[in-house]
C-alpha cells in the first residue's frame, strides 16, 4: 500500500542522507484553510473501499444492515417534492425489496473498533455523486478554526454529502460548534454521515458536563438515524497481543532495513515526540508525516498526562491513515495509557488507539 504521503526518497539526496533518519521533531507543519479543504477526501487507504468490497461478518447481522442502509442512503434520490432528502427512503413502486432508508438527513454509525465504519463511510462517499466532503471530526473543527464559522459554512454549504469520521464531543466548545454546524448544513439540504465509537446520546459523557448541553446534543441526534454496528476488530483478526517492542539492536536494524528499501525513516525519542506534538495543531499532524515511510520511536514509556495522551492518539490516527509502520523500543506502545486513563471518559478512544498501534507495529504493515 504505497500512498502519496509516503513518497520515495528525493533522488537528489546524497547516499549519506538516504541512510540517515530524519527527526519528526524538526518538522513544523502548519496547514492553511485552503489546504485543509483540499484534504477533505477519504484517506488513500480507503480509495477503493466500496459497499461490494465490504464483507459483512455473518455472525453480526448489524454489519450487513448498516451496509444496506448506507447503500440506500447514497442512491440518487427520487425527485419528490422540494428539500432534497424528503424523498429519501420511500420505496419506489415495484421496488419493495429495496431496504427503506431513514427520512432524516443523517446517518450516525456507532460501533466498536475496526468493524469497518470508516470503510462504509468511504464507500458512501464514493457512491455519492455531486460535491462532497470527507474528514475527521478534528479536520472539521480545524476548518472552523482556520476559516472562522462563516468561512467554513461558506465552503461546506450546498454539498450533497458531508462525511464526518470519528465524531466525538470532547468539550463544550466542540459541542456548541458541531451542533450548530450540523443544524445549519442539514437545514440547507446537505446530508451527513458520521461515525463514532459512542452512541449519540452518550456523547461527551465522562468528559465534561455534557448534561448541560443535552438540548443541543438531543437536537443534533434527532437529525440522525443512529445505527449500531457490532463485530470483531477486523485488524485483529490476524493480529493479537501487545504492540511489538524491539531491542536497541533490532530497532537499528529495522530502521536501516527500511532505509535500504528506499523508505524515508524518522528516529525520535518518545519523550521528544510527545513534547513536540504539543507545539503542532492536531489538524497539521498529517504534515509531520509527509514522505515518511517508517517511524522509529525510542524509549517508549507510560504516559500519565491525559492531554499528552490525547495528542498522541490524534497523531496515531494520522499515522494509521497513512499506514506508516512504527518501530519502537521501550514499553510496548499498547501499554502507554497509564494513570487510570483507561477507566476514564476517553476509554474507547484509547482502546481504539491500542488496536491501531497493534496493527502499526506488527509486520503486517511492512512494505
Q: Looking up cell 484553510, which residue turns up?
A: 33
Cβ closest to Mg ion, residue 117 vs residue 207: 117
Name the phi and psi angles at 274, rounded to 5: -60, -40
Question: According to DSSP H, which parts of the chain are helical?
Answer: 15-19, 33-38, 61-74, 117-127, 137-156, 172-187, 214-221, 248-260, 270-277, 285-288, 306-322, 347-361
C-beta separation of 111 from 117 below 8 A:
yes
Binding mask 102-121 for Mg ion (x = CB under 5 A): ---------------xx---
**What does the binding site for ligand ATP look like in residue numbers (CB under 6 A)?**
45, 49, 54-56, 113-119, 197, 234-235, 352
Minimum Å gap between C-beta 244 and ligand ATP is 19
User: Which of 204, 215, 128, 231 lies closest to 180 in space, CA to CA?
Assistant: 215
CB closer to ligand ATP out of 115 and 328: 115
Q: Give the three-class secondary structure for 77.
A: coil
- 318 touches which of ligand ATP, Mg ion, none (CB within 5 to 8 A by kind)? none
Judged by beta carbon distances under 5 to 8 A according to partner kind, the member of Mg ion, ligand ATP, none in contact with residue 186 is none
Task: Kindly give the pairing relationship between strand 132-136 and strand 191-196.
Answer: unpaired
Q: Which residue is nearest to Mg ion (CB)?
A: 118
Task: Report the partner that residue 114 touches, choosing among Mg ion, ligand ATP, none (CB closer than 5 to 8 A by kind).
Answer: ligand ATP
Q: Pattern 299-338, binding to Mg ion, x per CB under 5 A?
A: ----------------------------------------
Of 164 and 246, CB closest to Mg ion: 164
- Backbone φ, ψ for residue 140 (5° rounding): -70, -40
Query: Which residue's CB atom is positioned nearest to ligand ATP?
Result: 116
358 is a site residue for Mg ion (CB under 5 A): no
The answer to whether residues 106 and 193 touch, using CB atoms and an 8 Å cutoff, is: yes
According to DSSP, residue 305 is labeled: -
CA 104 to chain centre: 24
When the beta carbons of 69 and 274 are compared against Mg ion, the nearer one is 69
What is the closest distance, in whole angstroms, from the C-beta atom of residue 112 to ligand ATP in the complex? 7
Among Mg ion, ligand ATP, none, residue 113 binds (CB under 5-8 Å by kind): ligand ATP
Report the nearest approach of ligand ATP to the CB of residue 348 (Å). 9
Q: Closest separation between CB of residue 131 and ligand ATP, Å?
A: 24
3-state secondary structure of 35: helix
Interacting residues with Mg ion between 118 and 137 (CB under 5 A): 118
The one of ligand ATP, Mg ion, none whose footprint includes residue 67, by CB under 5 to 8 A per kind, is none
Distances (CA, A) of 354 to 232, 280, 363: 14, 22, 16
Smallest gap from Cβ 349 to ligand ATP, in A, equals 10
- Give the torsion sign (CA, 59, 62, 67, 69): positive
- Identify which of residues 117 and 327 has a Cβ nearer to Mg ion in the complex: 117
Q: Measure the CA–CA gap between 298 and 250, rounded to whole angstroms.
A: 12
Residues 6+ apart with CB under 8 A from 97: none
Q: Least CB distance from residue 74 to ligand ATP, whole Å?
A: 16
Using CB under 5 A, list all residues that contact Mg ion.
117-118
Amino acid at each position: 500500500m504505497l500512498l502519496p504521503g509516503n513518497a520515495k526518497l528525493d533522488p537528489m539526496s546524497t547516499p549519506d542522507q538516504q541512510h540517515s533518519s530524519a527527526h519528526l521533531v524538526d518538522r513544523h507543519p502548519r496547514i492553511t484553510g485552503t489546504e485543509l479543504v483540499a484534504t477533505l477526501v477519504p484517506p488513500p487507504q480507503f480509495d477503493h473501499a466500496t459497499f461490494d468490497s465490504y464483507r459483512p461478518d455473518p455472525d453480526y447481522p448489524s454489519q450487513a444492515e448498516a451496509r444496506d442502509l448506507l447503500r440506500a442512503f447514497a442512491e440518487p434520490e427520487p425527485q419528490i417534492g422540494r428539500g432534497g432528502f424528503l424523498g429519501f427512503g420511500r420505496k419506489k413502486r415495484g421496488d419493495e425489496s429495496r431496504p427503506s432508508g431513514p427520512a432524516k438527513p443523517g446517518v450516525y454509525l456507532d460501533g466498536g473498533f475496526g468493524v469497518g465504519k470508516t470503510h462504509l463511510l468511504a464507500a458512501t462517499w464514493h457512491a455519492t455523486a455531486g460535491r462532497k466532503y470527507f474528514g475527521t471530526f478534528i479536520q472539521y473543527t480545524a476548518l472552523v478554526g482556520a476559516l472562522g464559522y462563516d468561512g467554513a459554512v461558506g465552503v461546506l454549504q450546498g454539498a450533497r454529502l458531508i462525511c464526518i469520521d470519528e465524531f466525538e464531543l470532547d468539550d463544550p466548545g466542540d459541542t456548541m460548534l458541531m451542533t450548530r454546524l450540523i443544524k445549519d448544513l442539514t437545514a440547507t439540504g446537505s446530508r451527513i454521515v458520521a461515525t463514532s465509537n459512542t452512541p449519540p446520546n452518550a456523547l461527551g459523557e465522562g468528559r465534561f458536563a455534557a448534561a448541560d448541553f443535552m438540548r443541543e446534543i438531543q437536537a443534533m441526534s434527532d437529525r440522525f438515524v443512529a445505527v449500531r454496528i457490532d463485530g470483531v476488530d477486523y485488524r485483529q483478526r490476524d493480529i493479537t497481543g501487545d504492540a511489538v517492542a524491539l531491542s536497541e539492536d533490532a530497532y537499528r536494524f529495522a530502521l536501516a532495513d527500511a532505509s535500504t528499501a528506499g523508505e524515508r525513516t524518522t528516529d525520535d525519542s518518545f519523550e521528544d515526540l510527545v513534547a513536540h506534538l504539543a507545539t503542532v495543531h492536531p489538524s497539521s499532524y498529517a504534515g509531520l508525516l509527509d514522505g515518511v515511510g517508517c517511524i522509529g520511536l525510542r524509549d517508549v514509556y507510560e504516559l500519565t498526562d491525559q492531554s499528552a495522551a490525547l495528542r498522541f492518539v490524534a497523531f496515531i490516527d494520522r499515522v494509521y491513515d497513512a499506514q506508516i509502520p512504527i518501530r519502537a523500543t521501550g514499553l510496548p506502545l499498547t501499554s502507554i495509557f497509564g494513570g487510570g486513563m483507561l477507566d476514564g471518559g476517553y476509554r474507547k478512544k484509547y482502546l481504539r488507539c491500542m488496536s491501531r498501534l497493534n496493527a502499526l507495529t506488527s509486520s503486517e504493515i511492512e512494505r
